[in-house]
Structure 1
Amino acid sequence: MADSLLAPPQHGCKEYSKLERRICTCEDLSSRFRVTSRRFTQQYSQIYAVRLMATRPVLERAAKKKWGDDIFIQKLMDVKTGLRCCVLGTLFKAMPLQPSILKEISEEQGLNPLPAQARLTSDEDCLILEDESQRIALTGVIPVSKSVTGAVIALVGQELSSGRFEVEDYTYCGIPPQDIISLDSCLQQGEDRFVLLVSGLGVGRSSRDPLPLQLLIDTVSGQLGGPFVQEMCSKIVRVIVAGNALSEETKVDKKERGSKLLTRKVDAISCEAVKELDELLTQLASCVPVDVMPGANDPANYLLPQQPFSSCMFPETAQYSTMHLATNPFHSVIGGVSFLGTSGQSISDIYQFSNTENRLDILEHTLVCNHLAPTAPDTLGCVPYFKEDPFVIKNCPNVFYAGNQPLFQSRFVIGDEGQQTLLILIPDFCKTSTCVLVNLRTLECQPMSFGSELTGIEEECLQVKIDGAETMDKS
C-alpha cells in the first residue's frame, strides 16, 4: 500500500509543471509624500495659495479651451459690477452642520458630543470663491451640494449689485497630461502580469472571520486553487495593501481606557494585532513583493500624507527584501504602468461633505480637480505645507485607486488629449472578502472573492471566485 502511494503517477496522468513567480520592474515615486521637516508653526492658509499657484496655469488653459482665447480673466479685486469675466480661485463651502469646536464650547447645549452623521450637507450650504486678493459669494448654476471646500475652479459670470458673483458656467482643471507608457519587455510581448490590490484586512477585529484572509494568502502563494487559479496567481508580480491592515478596535483598549496604539506603560491590544499582521505579511512577502500603506485605523500619523510604518513593528517580515513600507498616498510605476492611490480617507471625507452618491464619481472628480485630497486641511487633516502642495496631481496615472470602500467599482476614463486611466474602488476586505486584480498589459481589472459555505453537516467547501470563474477545494 505504501509503495503504491509513493509510486510515480501512472501512465496517462497529467504531469504538473512547476510554476515560477513572474517579476516586473517597480519604481517608488512617492518621495514628495515623505515629510522631512516636522515643524508645525506655520499657518494652513499658505497651502491654499500654493495650491492655486500650482494649478493656475492649467486652469487658465482649461478656461480658454472651453470659452475661447478671448475670455477676460481677472482677479477678484478687479471684478467690475455687471461686466462679464472669468475668475479663478479656490472654493469654500460654508456648512452650518459642519462640526466646529468653537461652536461646541460657546453654546451650552453643544457641550455634549453630537451624534455622528453620514452626510453633513443641508439646504443652507453656500459657496464662496477665494483667490490671493479677496473672497466673493457665489450664486447661479454652480452645484452647491456636489461641491467641496478646497477645489480649484474657473468661473464665468458677472458680479451683481448685491455683491455676489452670478455663475454662468464653470470648469475644473481637467484630467492632467499623461506620460507615454514604456512597458516592460514581457508585457510588450503579450504576456500578462497582475497587481493585486487589497485594503481593510482588519486584523485584530473581534468578529473577524480569519478564513477569507488566509485563503487569499494561500491562493497568492500558490498553496490553494486549481491549475487555472495557480497559473494566474503565479503572474501576480506585486501586492499593494491600501491601508487599514488593523481593525478600528485596536485604537483603544476596552479594558484599559486611554490605552492607545502601542503605548509603553500599557499593553494595548494593537500589540497582539501587529504581531498577527507580521505573521500574515511574512507569508505574503516570502513569495511576492508587498507594498503596505498605512490607513485611518493603523498605528501611523493622523495627518496626511501618512508616513510608512516603522520596520520594527514587523520584525519577521522586515527580513525580506520584498517587503516595502509605503506612504499614503502612494505613487509607483510597476512594469511601466503608473499607479497612484490613497487608503480612502479623502474619498470618504468628500462623500460626507457632499451629496454625491457614487464614490467612483468622487474619485474621478479628484482626478479632474488635479488634487488627491481637496478637502484637506479644512475637514481632512494634513501637514501644514507652505512651499508646495504634494497632493497636486501633475501627471495623470494609468491606475488611480482608493482603498477601504464599501464595494468594488471600476471605470475607464479617457481624457481630451487621449489620457487613459483606470479608476478603482478597492473594497474593505474584512467586510466583503474581495480584492482586485489589475492586468498590467491590458489595464483591465477584476474582483477576486474568497469565502466558504457549508454544503453538508460535516463538509466544508472553500471557494475562490475570480470574475465569474470559480475554483473549489474540499477540506
Structure 2
Amino acid sequence: MFSDLSVHKEGGPSLLCRPDGDEQQREAAEVFQRVLPAYTPCCDAYRIGERNFNRQYAHIYATRLMQMRPLLTERAQQKWGEDVCIRKLCDLNAREQCCIVGTLFKHMELQPSILKEISEEHNLLPQPTRTKFTSDTDELILEDELQRIKLEGKIDKHKCVTGSVIAIYGAEKNDGKFTVEDYCTADLPVQSPRPALKEDRFVLLASGLGLGSTRADSMLGLQLLVDMVTGQLGGQGEQGGAATISRVLLAGNLLSRDTQDKEATTKPKYLTKKTQAGSVEAMRLLDEMLLQLVSSVPVDVMPGHHDPTNYTLPQQPLHRCMFPLSSVYPTLQLVPNPYQASMDGVRFLGTSGQNISDIQKYSSKDDHLDILEDTLRLRHLAPTAPDTLGCYPFYQKDPFIIEECPHVYFSGNAPSFQCRTVQGPEGQEVLLVTVPEFCSTQTACLVNLRTLQCQPISFSAFSPDDNDDDDSEMNVSH
C-alpha cells in the first residue's frame, strides 16, 4: 500500500522515465522505507451515537463538578494541608478560614446575548463588533450544587472564564462576599511512561489548509508540503528525511472561510442560476490532495470550524462519502475533534482550536500557548462550553475532562507556531504545540516521537511577478 521513496543516484533523462545506464546503476538506486508507528485511536469518548437535544445544559455543569470535586479536594489537601477545612457553600460560617470547591461563573456585561440581538429589531442601539468581551465591571462568582457567592481578593477575574472548576481558600466576610487568599486547579493528571525509541520518527501537524480560498497563491505552498511528505521534493537527503515522517495529522479548517458564501444564503435558490457552493469544489481539491498523501503515509483528518460537519463540540468525523478517491485507502482516518491517539506509546491530545479562541475572547489572555497550558492545568479541554462555546448536552459524563495526561497537547489554527515543555507536580512532561494556520503562515510542524521535540517547517513560494525565475523555494526552519 505504501510507495517506496526511491532516489536514482545517476539520475534520468526526463521526469517519470527509467534512468539510463546498465543494471549496476539501477541496482545502486537507494530505497527509503517509511517506518510506521504502532497506532491506537482513543477517540471513542468524543463520538456521539444517538443524539438527544431535549436535555438541559445544567446537567453538564453538575456532572463536571461531581467528577472533578474529588480531584480538587486532593489537590487542596496537598497544597494547604491535610487538616484544611473543606466546606460547601450552604455550610459556610462568617470569617472562618476554609476551602471551597466549585465552578466559576463570570458575569460579563459585554457578553453577546440573543436578547440584545432582538433589541436591534426595535430600533435600539446595536452592540459594536468586538474581539474581546471583558470589562472592568465583570464579576466573578463561585457556585456549587446549591448556592453561589461573589468572589474578591487574590484572583484575577479577567484571566478566569466561566466553567472552570477550581478550589479556593479564604473566608466569607460580613458583606456576603468571599475573600480569596489562594486558589488551585486540578493540575495535570497521571501520565503513563513514554517508551524509549531507538530512531527518529516524526508526526507532521498541520491545520488551516484553507482550500477554496480566493487567494491565487494559496495552493502552491500546500503542494510543496504534499510533495515534501511524499518524497517528491528535493534530493536524496530530503527524501531520506521524508521517510522518517510516519504520520500526518490535519487539525481542522481544511476548507477556507471563503467557501461559506453568505451572499448565496441571502438569496432564494429559485432566483439563482447555475450556482454551486464553494465548498463542493474545495472538497474535491481536498480529496485529490489527500489521495496524494494517503497513498504514501497514514493521515488523520480532523474537522474544524469551517468544515462541513456539526457545529457543536465534539465535532464528528467528516463523512467518507465526501472523499470518493482517498477513502478507498485504509490509511485515511477520519477522526473527531477533539482528537486523542497513541503513536508508539506517545499520547497525542488536541483540538482544532475553537476552545482556545473562545477563551481568548472572554479573558484578558491573548497568547494561545498560555491558554493551552491553562486548559491543561484546569484538566479540562473546553471550560467555556456550553456557556459561550457550543457543545452537545452531556448529562452522565463530561468527556472534555482530561483523565490521562498526554505527552503532546496541541491546538490548531493558531496565529503562529509556538511550543514549550511543561512539567507536572508528579514529574509529568508535556509538549505544548500551537499549530499555525497553514494558509496564512505556510508553516507546519514536526514532532519527534523519540525526543519529544517540535520544529516548524515553512514553505515560501515566489511568483514570477516577484522573481525573474519561475521557481519555488522551500525553507525548513529548525
**TM-score, structure 1 length as denominator?**
0.91
Equivalent-residue separation in structure 1 for 2:332 and 2:160 (angstroms): 39
2:59 aligned with 1:46: yes
**Per-residue deviation at 1:361?**
0.6
**Per-residue deviation at 1:461?**
3.5
Task: Write the mapping of 1:114-263 to structure 2, written as runs, cut at 5 A.
Answer: 114-182=127-195, 187=197, 190-207=198-215, 209=217, 210-252=219-261, 254-255=263-264, 257=266
Aligned CA distance change for structure 1 residues 292 and 19 (closer, same or farther; 3 Å):
same
2:282 aligned with 1:273: yes
2:37 aligned with 1:21: no
3-state SS of paired residue (1:73): coil
Aligned CA distance change for structure 1 residues 457 and 392 (closer, same or farther; 3 Å):
closer
3-state SS of paired residue (2:288): helix
Task: Write the mapping of 1:279-318 to structure 2, written as runs, cut at 5 A.
Answer: 279-318=288-327
Equivalent-residue separation in structure 2 for 1:11 and 1:325 (angstroms): 44
CA contact (8 A) 2:103 2:165 kept: yes
Partner of 1:398: 407
Q: Which aligned runs of 4 or more in structure 1 are off by greater than 6 angstroms?
A: 9-14, 107-110
Partner of 2:424: 415
Q: Which amino acid aligns with 1:197?
A: L
Gaps spanning 5+ residues in structure 2: where?
Answer: 1-11, 14-18
**2:117 maps to which of 83, 104, 124:** 104
Partner of 1:71: 84
Per mean C-alpha deviation after superposition, the further-off stretch among 400-409 and 245-254 is 245-254
3-state SS of paired residue (2:30): coil
CA contact (8 A) 1:103 1:110 kept: no
Measured against aligned partners, the alpha-carbon deviations of 1:304-347 in whole angstroms (never above 9, x if no partner) come to 00000010000101000000000000000011100000000000
2:94 aligned with 1:85: no
Equivalent-residue separation in structure 2 for 1:32 and 1:266 (angstroms): 39
- State the identity as a percent: 50
Q: Which amino acid aligns with 2:200?
A: D
Aligned residues: 456
**1:366 maps to which of 350, 358, 375:** 375
Gaps spanning 5+ residues in structure 1: where?
Answer: 469-475
Partner of 1:473: none
**Per-residue deviation at 1:380?**
0.1
Aligned CA distance change for structure 1 residues 53 and 222 (closer, same or farther; 3 Å):
same
Partner of 1:432: 441
CA contact (8 A) 1:26 1:333 kept: yes
**Per-residue deviation at 1:356?**
1.0
2:358 aligned with 1:349: yes
CA contact (8 A) 1:259 1:266 kept: no
Equivalent-residue separation in structure 2 for 1:256 and 1:108 (angstroms): 20
Q: Which amino acid aligns with 2:477?
A: D
CA contact (8 A) 2:187 2:378 kept: yes
**Per-residue deviation at 1:25?**
1.0
3-state SS of paired residue (1:448): strand
Aligned CA distance change for structure 1 residues 342 and 110 (closer, same or farther; 3 Å):
farther
Partner of 1:459: 469
Partner of 1:472: none
**1:441 maps to which of 440, 445, 450:** 450
